[in-house]
């Protein structure tokens, strides 16, 4: 089968492709386990190509490009997005990639006529405004950022195209993924990886939010496992809405820094400078940090054990 990964050159995309190749097979829309013949990494930059991985470089908001890139796909993991901070700073760019891109993909898939599977990486940024202490499966999404609005619109379109029988779509709301390797990005949450990653590499880092702020987090490992689980679950297990919030960990910045100290020592901890930034604080504090993910738990999605293990995993994999 042919698997398309949008955002395939990115961190999560590359990690997902690695895991797809390792597993070698996926369950198709008919419930049959089939070998993966080809993975197409769709992104604005080239992804490493191998015997089974093809890189398709282009603009996901360009319908003609997406129609070519997604042609014949049996399964799609739609990760491509302009991140929160960038979508807020450049409204047109966010709308183009996050909304037009999702529409272009859905149009490409539905005209295929064979009801491909689609896993859509949504975000807890669909929640905002006046929220209960704990967000549940019944809480009304009320995004307070253009990114969150665009992700929620994506969920609605994925849901409607599934209801219409065009695709078999599953949208999962990812917590903030920590620890991301590499360099900071334009996400308002970028610092949450930075305050772990930079100190472990002997580099100073800035924390722009109050240390008492809590965040809803997931490790890259759990994110990949959950994206694949979302794909592999039989359609019959997706009763109710085709969108759900994934299990995460509620962790305060203070606790994150304590875990950093335990893994990297006081020298690492002392590299984090507190420099409050009103713009980033406003965005991050608007994100809910506590969830009851009963539905996802019952469907077998996984939760990280504790934050210190996430830091140790990162240190083992990347900080060598």
Minimum distance of a copy of itself from residue 188's CB (angstroms): 15
Binding a copy of itself by CB under 8 A: which of 13, 141, 194, 208? 141
Catalytic residues: 147
Q: Assess 235 for contact with a copy of itself (CB under 8 A).
A: no
Nearer to a copy of itself, 137 or 258 (CB): 137
Between the alpha carbon of residue 30 and those of residues 114, 165, 308, the distances in Å are 10, 13, 40
Minimum distance of a copy of itself from residue 142's CB (angstroms): 6
Binding-site size, a copy of itself (CB under 8 A): 24
Distance of alpha carbon 140 from its chain centroid, rounded? 20
Q: Which positions from 148 to 167 touch a copy of itself by CB under 8 A, shown as an x/- string? A: -x--xx--xx-xx--xx---
Minimum distance of a copy of itself from residue 107's CB (angstroms): 9
Nearer to a copy of itself, 59 or 137 (CB): 137
Minimum distance of a copy of itself from residue 12's CB (angstroms): 25
Q: Assess 241 for contact with a copy of itself (CB under 8 A).
A: yes
Q: Assess 240 for contact with a copy of itself (CB under 8 A).
A: yes
Minimum distance of a copy of itself from residue 28's CB (angstroms): 24
CB contact burial 3-14 (16+ within 10 A = b; e otherwise): bbbbbbbbbbbb
Tell me the window of 54-62, 113-121, 142-150, 296-304 that interacts with a copy of itself (CB under 8 A). 142-150
Distance of alpha carbon 8 from its chain centroid, rounded? 12
93-132: contacts with a copy of itself (CB under 8 A): 95, 103, 129-130
At residue 18, φ and ψ (nearest 5 deg) are -55, -45
Name the maximum alpha-carbon separation found in the chain: 58
20-59: contacts with a copy of itself (CB under 8 A): none
Q: Assess 143 for contact with a copy of itself (CB under 8 A).
A: yes
Q: Assess 214 for contact with a copy of itself (CB under 8 A).
A: no
Nearer to a copy of itself, 131 or 228 (CB): 131
Q: What is d(CA 171, CA 201) in angstroms, rounded to the nearest whole number?
A: 35
Query: What is the binding site for a copy of itself (CB under 8 A)?
Result: 91, 95, 103, 129-130, 138-144, 146, 149, 152-153, 156-157, 159-160, 163-164, 240-241
């Amino acid at each position: 089968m042919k698997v398309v990964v949008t955002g395939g050159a990115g961190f999560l995309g590359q990690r997902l492709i690695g895991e797809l190749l390792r597993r070698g097979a996926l369950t198709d829309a008919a419930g049959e386990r089939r070998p993966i013949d080809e993975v197409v990494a769709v992104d604005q930059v080239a992804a490493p190509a191998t015997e089974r991985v093809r890189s398709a470089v282009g603009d996901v908001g360009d319908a003609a490009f997406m129609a070519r890139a997604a042609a014949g796909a049996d399964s799609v993991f739609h990760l491509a997005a302009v991140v929160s901070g960038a979508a807020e700073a450049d409204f047109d760019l966010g709308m183009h990639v996050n909304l037009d891109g999702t529409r272009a993909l859905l149009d490409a898939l539905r005209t295929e006529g064979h009801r491909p599977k689609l896993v859509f990486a949504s975000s807890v940024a669909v929640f905002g405004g006046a929220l209960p202490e704990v967000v549940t499966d019944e809480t009304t999404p009320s995004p307070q950022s253009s990114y969150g609005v665009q992700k929620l619109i994506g969920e609605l379109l994925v849901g409607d195209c599934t209801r219409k029988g065009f695709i078999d779509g599953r949208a999962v709301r990812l917590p903030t993924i920590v620890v991301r390797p590499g360099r900071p990005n334009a996400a308002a949450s970028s610092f949450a990886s930075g305050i772990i990653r930079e100190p472990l590499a002997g580099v100073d880092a800035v924390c722009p939010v109050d240390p008492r702020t809590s965040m809803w987090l997931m490790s890259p490992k759990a994110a990949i496992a959950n994206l694949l689980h979302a794909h592999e679950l039989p359609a019959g297990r997706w009763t109710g809405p085709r969108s759900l919030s994934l299990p995460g960990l509620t962790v305060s910045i203070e606790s994150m820094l304590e875990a950093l100290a335990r893994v990297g020592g006081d020298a690492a901890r002392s590299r984090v400078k507190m420099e409050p930034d009103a713009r980033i604080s406003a965005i991050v504090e608007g994100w809910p940090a506590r969830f009851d993910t009963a539905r996802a738990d019952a469907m077998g999605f996984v939760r990280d054990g504790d934050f210190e293990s996430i830091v140790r995993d990162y240190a083992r994999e990347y900080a060598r």
